[in-house]
Structures are given as C-alpha cells and as structure tokens.
Amino acid sequence: MSAPTSINTMDRRGFMAASLVGAGALAFEARIVLADTPVAQVPLNAFIRIGADNKVTIGAKNPEIGQGIRTMLPMLVAEELDLGWDQVVIEPTLANDKIYGVQSAGGSNSTPNNWLPMRQVGAAARAMILAAAAKEWGVDAASLTTAAGKVSHAASGRNAPYASFARGAAAEVAPDLAKVALKDPSRFTIIGQSKVGVDTAAITHGKPLFGIDVDMPGLIHGAIIKAPAHGATIATHDAGAALKRKGVLAVVPVNSNSVAPGKFDTLVVVADSWWTAKNAREAVKVTWDDAAQVGFSTEAYDKGAAAALAAGPQISHAKNGDVAKALAGAAKTITADYSYPFLAHGTLEPQNCTGLWQDGKLEIWAPSQAPNNGRNDTAAMMDMRGEDITIHQTRIGGGFGRRLINDYMVMVAQVAKALPGKPVKILFDRTDDLRNDYYRPAGWHRFTAGLDAKGDLVAFKDHFVSFGKDGKPIRAAEMSPFEFPVNVLADSEIGITYLPTNLATGWLRAPTSNAIAFVYQSFMDEVALAAGIDLPELMRRTLGTPRDLAVVPGRPILNSGRARAVIEGVCKMANWQGGKLPNSAKGEKRGRGFGFYFSHRGYFAEVVDITLTDATTVRVDKVWACGDIGSQIINPINARHQVQGAVNEGLGQGMVEQKIEQIKGVVQAESFGDFPLIRIEQVPREIAVQFLKTDYPPTGLGEPSLPPVIPALANAIFAATGKRLRDLPLKLA
Amino acid sequence: MSQGKYALTINRKPVSVTAEADKPLLWVLREELKMPGTKFGCGQGLCGACTVLLDGQAVRSCQTPVSAAAGHKITTIEGATALPQGAKLVEMWQEIDVPQCGYCQAGQILSATALLMANPKPSDEEIDAGMNGNLCRCATYLRIRRAIRKAAGMADVTGDAA
C-alpha cells in the first residue's frame, strides 16, 4: 500500500462534491468539479473515470475480504457501460456512505443490494456518452450502438472510442437512474463470464495490498496489552521501564469501545518497530479491575445451561397450537440435546489499523468490513465529526464477520491523537487476536418431536439456551421464531433461556445459521430415522407444496418449492440412496449424510461422504452442493470458489476441535495450536457444485453454502458408525 | 538485545541490515527492507504465512532470527518467479485464480516451490504432506492442489466435477 499517495483523485473529488451538495453517488455530483479535471482522465460520476487511452477506471466501493466483490461490482458497471473487460481498471474507493451508499461486507447483502444500482450507474454513464456522441456527429442518439468501449453509427460507418466523447459526456445531464434502460440478460458479455480476481496477480507477486502492509514515511507501530478478561479495566499501570527501552516512544491507555466512556481497557505500546513494541510489553506493569468478570467460565456456562434445560424456558419465543397436547397424542416422540461452543474467527491477517491525526482531523487506513460504522464509532469515541475522518479501504486478509466490528479503528484513533502528526499502525499478535475476538456465541438446544401413526412430523419443541441480557439476546445469540419446521407445524414452540457472559459476541460467517443448521438438521435426521425414512424425504414431506413460508418479519421468505428443488438436485448429483455406503476396499466403514439450509436468501442442500480411517478418525471424501441464489451467477469461477471455501470452513467447524474456552473470565486460546483451522490434509479431494438458476433476483453467496455441510457431516458419521454426535466440535472418542 | 550488522542475500541481491540478533527475518523483511509480501500470521510457526526459502528449503521466517539467516540465500515471494518452479506456480495460481482473501498465498507459493524443487512430480498425498503446514483460512486448498499439479505438468484434476 503506497499510502498516502494511493488516495485517488476520484475519491477526493467525490468526497468534496458530496460535502457540498450532500447527495449520494448516484446523483453524479462529481461532475461539478470537472473544471480541475486533468485531461488524462474524465470522471463521469463518483464511480467512473474515462482515460485518454480509453481505459476506464471503475471504483469498487465495498470491502474485499476474499468474497470477490472488488471484482464483481465493477463487472456490473462495465456490463452496462458496454466495456471490454480488458479496458477496465479497478480502484477501491474511499469509505464514504454519503457518496457510495452502504459499503459493508456482511449478510451476503452486496449482490442483492447492488445488482440493479451498479448496473444503473454503468447504464447512465453509457447514456451520457451516447448523448455526447450524438451531438458531436449530429445524429440521433437512438441510431448509435456501443460495444467494447466504442460508439458506432452504422448508417455513416463512423466509430470512435468512448474517450473521444468523455468531456462532452461529463457535461451532459445525468439521466434518472430509476428510468435508465438496462440490458436484457441475453446480451450480457461480462456478467456470467468468469473473471479472475482483480488483485490475484498482485497477491501472487507479494505486492502490498492489505491493512498490515500500509506503510508511509515516519510510520510508528503499536502493540497492545488488553485486559485479559473482556470488560475489565485498567486499575494501575507503570510504563516507566518500557519507556526506557530503545525505540519505545509512548504507552497510551485507550478504550477498545468495550468499556464505559472514560475507562481504559488497553495499553498500546508504541515504538519505531512493531517487534520492539511487542517485546516491550513485558516491561509494562499493569493491574486490572476485573472482579465483575472473573466468575465467567466455560464450566459455569455448562452448569448454567444444564440447570436451564432442567428448569425449562424463561421466555416463550414461538408458540403455535398446543404442543404439549400434540406430543401426548403422538405415536412416537424423539428427544435429544445438542450444543455448540463459542468460536473465534481466526482471520489469518491479525487485526490492525493505521491512523494519522493532523490538525484536528483523522485519516484511517482500515481492513474493515463495515468502515462507515467504524467512522461512527470513532467519531463518538473521539467526540469529533464523522466528516473529519477520512477512511481508506485496504484489501482484507479474511473477514468472516470479525471485521464488522471496528475496535481496532477506535483504538488507533486514540493513539494517533496522542501522537499527532505521526502515522501509527496498531497490530494484534495472534494471541491478542484470538483472545479479543467477537465470538460466535455458544448455545444449547433440547428438542422434542412427535410423529403421528403415519410417521408424519406433527409436533416440535425446542428449548434454546444461549447468552443474553435483560431478557434479550446479545449480538448474534438470537434465533428466529419462524425456524423450520416450527413455522410449518400447527403444534410447535420455541422457548429460550439466556445466560450472562462477559465475552463480546459477534457475527461469524452465516451467523446464527452456522449453529442452528447443525442442531436442526441433525435432529431432523434423528426424526427421519424414527419415521423410517431418510432426511431428504422427511424434508420434502415437511416442506409440503411449493409456497412462501415466513422466516422472520421483514426478512427474506423461504420458498418451499425452491428448497425442494435444491434437495432433489443434490440427491440427483450424489445419486442419493440413503446414508448407508458399503465399506471401502480396505474394509473401512463409510457413510453419507445430508443437510439442507436456507439462509441469507440462498438455498443449499449438501451431501457428504466420509470414511472412517480408524475408530475415531474421519476422512471426508467428497461433498456435493446444490444451490439456488436466483437467476444469475455473476462471476461463475468465484461462485464455485465461494461454495468450496464455505464447505471446507463448515467441515472445519465440525472436525478440527475448534472451540473457545474460558477460565476466570479469560479466553484460553493462544494460537492455531489450540484453536485449529482446517488444513489441506483434512479437506476432501472433490467438492462438486451446481447452481439451479431460477426466476428470482440474484442474491449473495458468501454465506448460505456453509451451514448445511455441518449437519451433513454429523449425519454421515452417524450413517457410518451408528453414533449420533450432538455436540460441536464432533468427536468420536 | 544488542544490534548487529548482518549480510543477507535476498532474491539474489546482497543486502546489509542492522538489527537485533534475535529479530525474526520476517520483521527484518517487512520493517527494515520494506518487503511486505512475507506475511505475519501467528508468530509461532503454526500457519506458514511467513514462509520463505532459505537455500531452497521452506522455513518460517517468524522463527528464523536474522542472525541465523545471515550468509544464506533467501527467496521471498517478491523474487519467487526467478525460480523456474516459482514462475510456473505463480502462472498457475493466476490462471485458476487460487486466492480468495489472498493473505496466506505468498507462503503457499513458496512452500509449493520448495515441494516441487525437491519432488518434481509429487503424488496427491505428497502434495498434502508438503503443504500441510500452510493454513488457508478461506480454505482454497482444492485449488492449491490443482495449481501444484498443473505447475508440475501433471493431469489437471479440477476437484469440482459432479
């Protein structure tokens, strides 16, 4: 990152224009500063600049965490602008939601939210170029055509590159975006074609791209000493010995945005080198106010959950009909308890952020999934105006939801203000990163299901225990009152008990779904077994006729027909004949499992084949995934990769003993030794992916393919061994 | 720790740095030499993000003190394409678009380079064993296998056929 020289002119102009007119990017306010535009590049709007060489620079507005959005959103613009992909140059924009609208990598929302707006931006720019060309050539704009960045007039045989009309186009009145004509999908030349990631070449050559790579003259470095028990604050500290070390510049108390205003929970040791700062931490003496935190532990949560399940729910979350009566009248009932642990994100790039405080203003370089939220948090902490904070978006070395929280930005702002005029980067070490995460909350479920004499599911009850405060879930600890099959049964209910915790919780890729899919689809596999059928058949019967089912008020609906289609699709792909598989040639036990889940508007059904290489070791041989995310796969190569990565991540949550444990308020994980990630030897040789294209708008893919693989794995282990594993991580021994 | 002057050969170029003897090569590369391609992932040799070649062997630069690197030939991602195996691997990495977030990929490419230098036609099991020290949080492992096979001139196996 050659910051600060990487600040590009498009962003500077766009920012200035927006603060003058207060309008959004789609209002094309960037045109008003055209007077100082260099001849070499003409901005048509906040997203598009046309160069004299007919290269077109497109601004990529959303944070890139490996989901491919920095490539995909510009594809939408380029398609409607009718460019050749080889003309396109992609630049990340500043984080500025006043210009660019929502800029967030979360909830698989970028595709549904931008599918039309980004195309409209491209189409509007094309219309302005056509209008300028029509004036220059004295012809009707309707008689002009475009392709690969050129305008043609068939009647006269004239054609010319966009660049020759750029200045005229920039002077045109921007058309109404809501009315601008978009291409029919049959005419797409970029959407639907595989495009290699915009940064792939730079990554393979080791170019600076990531937050950790930000460098500039005079950069200094901070290492953190954070309260071991989350929520504790600094009681006393003595930095005298550390400050005597060569290269150490300052020790700055900061608030990580987790404790009350005016309190501090972190010391940042600043030095001329991060290595020096990290080592100097040992010379700082600090004591903590942690009396309110030390009572929390994994052991206490397990006891609390057991007591809660025995006592029954505190809160009625969903109640349909009379489940007690229906269970009493059932021909067969099935009961089981399930659980899953707290999880860290373990992004490979540790949390970091760079800041520079100068003249009462703040400039930030952040690997953040929600940089504009970070601006708000930072402005509040620093008691400054959001518009006095400029945020550059770096490429991000893994997000998975961790970087939706902006603690690092709030912290670096305080350090930068303490050392004005000096650019400073803070960087967590691996233990800091694992111990100061915003964890996927643990949870427990006690299920009871009732089958009638025909084997149909007629009653369903879940007592869910997770973490909350004042009768409400803490972040990412909620569940839907419409969870399938609760939403389709006349007699069903969900009750909840919330336990207290000092841990900060947060969203992990496919939040809530990654856990709920495991417990619900594993338990449904037990119900299917009791009904004498397999899970795909139970799902088909319980989903019933194609119709729209409630999920959450104001959230996407689940179409049971789309669900059934992916279930049938994956069964066809894998030639599903039930979970039993013959032993391997070596006599090893094998098994096959199924899982379905709907999340983030996407439908995925997956089948997992496993072999037991010894009594306790599972090898995953192959996974099949069938998904429906609407009418268009925008970048097919990236779509396959997203599914394969999500499948492997889900297998990791099942297989590799990922869990976060706590003693006396303190998270115990230190590194990838005790918080393992899945490795190459543990992933399957094959992950087959198929998309069913349906007549629905395209939706996101970062998340929905992850959840179903976890129950599919657990169900495969049951099929192979007869052992029902009801707790994550799955363990046979 | 007192400072010392160390003569290193990095990507075939001699360089001289002044640093504490125990400062890891990783931080000398990133901070002193402004070569940020080598990544910090865990600082404990458990993730492989910081992998470089030392006389052709893959080593964890976070566990290699600069004093121990002195006098050896070091290859980082910035110079990987100067090696024939590295050049072929980088080409295949780009062709099949291996990276997702991309953070681990410098380390992956250098571990793969060391693997192919020692074993030009590795079996699937040898690829997994050779690459098992390199974590990829995005789990791009199927493509890492595929790119190595293609770089080694072996039959292309996409791993995503139904």
Q: Count of domains in chain A?
A: 3
CA-based nearest residue in chain B for residue A66: B101
Q: What is the pLDDT of residues A467-519, one digit of tens each?
A: 999 999 999 999 999 999 999 999 999 999 999 999 999 999 999 999 999 99
CB contact, 8 Å: A18 with chain B?
Answer: no
Last residue of a domain, one of A402, A427, A452: A427
Q: What is the pLDDT of residues A687-697, one digit of tens each?
A: 999 999 999 99
- Whether B162 sits inside 8 A of A624 (CB atoms) is yes
Query: Is residue A434 in some structural domain?
Result: no
Which residues numbered 13-32 in B keep a CB inside 8 Å of some CB on A? 20, 23-24, 27, 31
What mean pLDDT do residues A551-556 have? 67
CB contact, 8 Å: A349 with chain B?
Answer: yes
CB contact, 8 Å: A38 with chain B?
Answer: no
Higher-confidence residue of A380 and A17: namely A380
- On whether the CB atoms of residues A112 and A697 are closer than 8 A, the answer is yes
Q: Which of A36-45, A276-285, B41-50 has the lowest mean pLDDT?
A: A36-45
Query: Is residue A84 in some structural domain?
Result: yes
Residue B162: per-residue pLDDT: 63
Q: How many helices (H) and strands (E) does chain B have?
A: 6, 5
* Residue B157 pLDDT class (50, 70, 90 cuts): confident
- Whether A200 sits inside 8 A of B94 (CB atoms) is yes
Q: Please determine, for residue B50, whether its predicted confidence score (pLDDT) is greater than 90.
A: yes
Last residue of a domain, one of A387, A403, A427: A427
Last residue of a domain, one of A392, A427, A462: A427
A185 and A141 share one domain: yes
CA-CA distance, A211 to A391, in Å (whole number)? 12
CA-CA distance, A238 to A41, in Å (whole number)? 55
Residues in B touching A644 (Cβ below 8 Å): 139-140, 142-143, 159-160
What mean pLDDT do residues B121-127 have? 97
- Whether B105 sits inside 8 A of A210 (CB atoms) is no
Q: Please determine, for residue A624, whether its predicted confidence score (pLDDT) is greater than 50.
A: yes
Q: How many CB atoms lie within 10 A of CB A719?
A: 24
* β-bridge pairing A424-427 and A352-358: antiparallel
A531 and A603 share one domain: yes
Residue A170: per-residue pLDDT: 87
What mean pLDDT do residues A449-476 have? 97
- Whether B102 sits inside 8 A of A199 (CB atoms) is yes
A320 and A468 share one domain: yes
Query: Is residue A291 in some structural domain?
Result: no
A556 and A675 share one domain: yes
Residue A553: per-residue pLDDT: 67
A250 and A397 share one domain: yes
CB contact, 8 Å: B132 with chain A?
Answer: yes
A475 and A577 share one domain: yes
What mean pLDDT do residues B90-111 have? 98
Contacts for A635 with CB less than 8 Å, ≥ 6 apart: A68, A71, A72, A75, A193, A194, A195
Q: State the smallest CA–CA distance between residue B71 and chain A in angstroms.
A: 22
Residues in A touching B136 (Cβ below 8 Å): 348, 680
Q: What is the pLDDT of residues A294-331, one digit of tens each?
A: 999 999 999 999 999 999 999 999 999 999 999 999 99
* Residue A202 pLDDT class (50, 70, 90 cuts): very high
Residue B2: per-residue pLDDT: 76
Residue B159: per-residue pLDDT: 82
Q: State the smallest CA–CA distance between residue A680 and chain B in angstroms.
A: 6
* Residue A104 pLDDT class (50, 70, 90 cuts): very high
* Residue A551 pLDDT class (50, 70, 90 cuts): confident
A501 and A464 share one domain: yes
CA distances from B17 to A245, B14, B29 (A): 20, 10, 10
Q: Which of A174-178, B63-67, B73-77 has the lowest mean pLDDT?
A: A174-178
- Whether B23 sits inside 8 A of A275 (CB atoms) is yes
Q: Give me the percent of chain A exceeding a pLDDT of 90.
A: 88
Residues in A touching B46 (Cβ below 8 Å): 671-673
Q: Please determine, for residue A27, whether its predicted confidence score (pLDDT) is greater than 70.
A: no
- On whether the CB atoms of residues A74 and A60 are closer than 8 A, the answer is yes
* Residue A178 pLDDT class (50, 70, 90 cuts): confident
| Interface residue of B140, B141, B144 to substitute, partner A, most A CBs within 10 Å | B141
Which residues numbered 62-101 in A keep a CB inside 8 Å of some CB on B? 64-68
Which residues numbered 405-434 in A keep a CB inside 8 Å of some CB on B? 427, 429-430
A79 and A141 share one domain: yes
CB-CB: which of A197, A213, A430 is closest to B36?
Answer: A213
- Whether A429 sits inside 8 A of B43 (CB atoms) is yes
Q: Which of A12-16, A504-508, B63-67 has the lowest mean pLDDT?
A: A12-16
Q: Please determine, for residue A17, whether its predicted confidence score (pLDDT) is greater than 50.
A: no
Q: What is the pLDDT of residues A659-684, one digit of tens each?
A: 999 999 999 999 999 999 999 999 99
Residues in A touching B111 (Cβ below 8 Å): none
Task: Supply the pTM of this predicted model.
Answer: 0.95
For chain B, which domains are there?
3-79 (3.10.20.30), 80-151 (1.10.150.120)
Residue A453: per-residue pLDDT: 97
Q: Which ipTM score applies to this complex? A: 0.98
CB-CB: which of B81, B99, B162 is closest to A573?
Answer: B162
A234 and A262 share one domain: yes
Residues in A touching B38 (Cβ below 8 Å): 206
Q: How many helices (H) and strands (E) does chain A have?
A: 18, 31
A218 and A272 share one domain: yes
What mean pLDDT do residues A68-76 have? 97
CB contact, 8 Å: A619 with chain B?
Answer: no
CA-based nearest residue in chain B for residue A280: B1
Instruction: Locate A638 and state its tokens.
Output: 């990236």
Q: Which of A54-58, A249-253, A361-365, A606-610 has the lowest mean pLDDT?
A: A54-58
Max Cα distance, chain B (Å): 60
CA-CA distance, A476 to A504, in Å (whole number)? 10
Nearest to A445 by CA among A524, A332, A511: A524
What mean pLDDT do residues A339-359 have? 98
Residue A226: per-residue pLDDT: 98
CB-CB: which of A204, A346, A690 is closest to B109?
Answer: A204
Q: Please determine, for residue A38, whether its predicted confidence score (pLDDT) is greater than 90.
A: no
Q: State the smallest CA–CA distance between residue A643 and chain B in angstroms.
A: 10
Instruction: Locate A415 and state its tokens.
Output: 């350090």
CB-CB: which of A640, A645, A687 is closest to B138?
Answer: A645
Phi-psi region of B110 (alpha: psi -120 to 50; beta: other; left: phi over 0): alpha
Query: Is residue A336 in some structural domain?
Result: yes
Query: Is residue A123 in some structural domain?
Result: yes
CB-CB: which of A65, A680, A687 is closest to B131?
Answer: A680
Query: Is residue A292 in some structural domain?
Result: no
* Residue A24 pLDDT class (50, 70, 90 cuts): very low
CA-CA distance, A554 to A187, in Å (whole number)? 34
Contacts for A383 with CB less than 8 Å, ≥ 6 apart: none
Residue A554: per-residue pLDDT: 62
Which residues numbered 72-111 in B keep a CB inside 8 Å of some CB on A? 76-78, 80-81, 90, 93-95, 97-106, 109
A-B contacts at Cβ under 8 angstroms: 189
A478 and A369 share one domain: no
Higher-confidence residue of A21 and B144: namely B144
* Residue B1 pLDDT class (50, 70, 90 cuts): low
Q: Please determine, for residue A595, whether its predicted confidence score (pLDDT) is greater than 60.
A: yes
CA distances from A650 to A476, A515, A683 (A): 18, 10, 11
Q: What is the pLDDT of residues A520-533, one digit of tens each?
A: 999 999 999 999 99
Residue A209: per-residue pLDDT: 97
Residues in A touching B139 (Cβ below 8 Å): 644-645, 647-649, 652, 678, 683
CB contact, 8 Å: B159 with chain A?
Answer: yes
Contacts for A262 with CB less than 8 Å, ≥ 6 apart: A255
CATH number at residue A378: 3.30.365.10
What are the backbone dihedrals phi and psi of residue A466, each rounded to the nearest 5 degrees, phi first? Answer: -145, -150
* Residue A35 pLDDT class (50, 70, 90 cuts): very low
* Residue A44 pLDDT class (50, 70, 90 cuts): confident
Residue A112: domain span: 9-204
Q: Give me the percent of chain B exceeding a pLDDT of 70.
A: 99
Residue A75: per-residue pLDDT: 98
CB contact, 8 Å: A136 with chain B?
Answer: no
A218 and A200 share one domain: no
| Interface residue of B40, B101, B134 to substitute, partner A, most A CBs within 10 Å | B101
Query: Is residue A62 in some structural domain?
Result: yes
B112 DSSP assignment: H
Mean pLDDT (chain A) is 93
Residue A160: per-residue pLDDT: 97
Residue A583: per-residue pLDDT: 97
CB contact, 8 Å: B43 with chain A?
Answer: yes
The burial of A185, by beta-carbon neighbours within 10 Å (0-12 exposed, 13-18 middle, 19 or more buried), is given as exposed
Query: Is residue A627 in some structural domain?
Result: yes
Lookup result for tokens 């071991």: A228
